[in-house]
Amino acid sequence: MRLELIKNDFQNCECVSAKLSRDDPDVSCIGLFLKEMNDHTGVVASEYDITRGLFDAFSKSFVPDESRVYAVLTYIFPEEYRVVVEELRKSSLKFLVSPVALPDWIDDLARVSIGTIDKDFLRKEGRVIYNCFEHGMELMGLDESTESLQVAAEELSRKFNVPLRVVERRE
């Protein structure tokens, strides 16, 4: 098992869909994933604890205080809180994070769901975070810094004795 921090590359996860150019230097796509999940050699914690740490670190890095978070939920009948939380972690949720309240948030979430995100959308609405099932998260935004996430990923790597691979792409 290893952590992989991917900078400047998108569509690593099948849940990401957008109308953005891979060559645009203003567009940021940042992902943090668990890879090689069948190999637990030397790992000092459960896959659940590592995944939870990954989601917490990612959220803390990219959801500033006072932000508004809008989510696309894809389940129908939650039976109880724990089941809902577990389902959310395993689903391909999409979150829209904005510094201001969005008057047309329902339409904005529809755009996130169907993949019609473009640069103007990100400039106006904020950043989009994708929960890529139970193995990682990915963010799309404009001119996003990876510094805080890299520090958090390095801490997770040390804490759980999981190697970290940092991949930087822009082709």
Instruction: Give per-residue pLDDT as tens, 126-138.
Output: 888 888 766 788 8
- Domain positions in the chain are 2-168
- Please report, rounded to a whole number, the percentage of residues in the chain having pLDDT higher than 90: 3
Instruction: Give per-residue pLDDT as tens, 145-163.
Output: 888 888 988 998 888 888 9
The region, left, alpha or beta by phi > 0 then psi within -120 to 50, assigned to residue 13 is: beta
Task: Say how far apart CA 94 and CA 52 lie, in whole Å.
Answer: 17
The model's pTM is 0.77
Q: Which amino acid is at 83?
A: V
pLDDT of residue 80: 54
Instruction: Give per-residue pLDDT as tens, 69-110.
Output: 887 765 444 455 556 666 656 666 777 888 889 999 888 888
Residue 113, CA atoms < 13 Å, CB-side half-sphere: 11
